[in-house]
Amino acid sequence: WLNNCIGKKNYRWFFTMMMSALLL
């Protein structure tokens, strides 16, 4: 469901969000 919800365009934003969450 991640692919459907996120999509290709939002994948980059999602990845950045994940990295920020991990760093914090």
Tokens of 7: 């999509």
Give the burial string for 1-24 (b: 16+ CB within 10 Å, else e).
eeeeeeeeeeeeeeeeeeeeeeee
Give residue 18's pLDDT: 86
Give residue 13's pLDDT: 82
Give residue 7's pLDDT: 62
Tens-place pLDDT, residues 1-24: 455 555 666 778 888 888 899 887
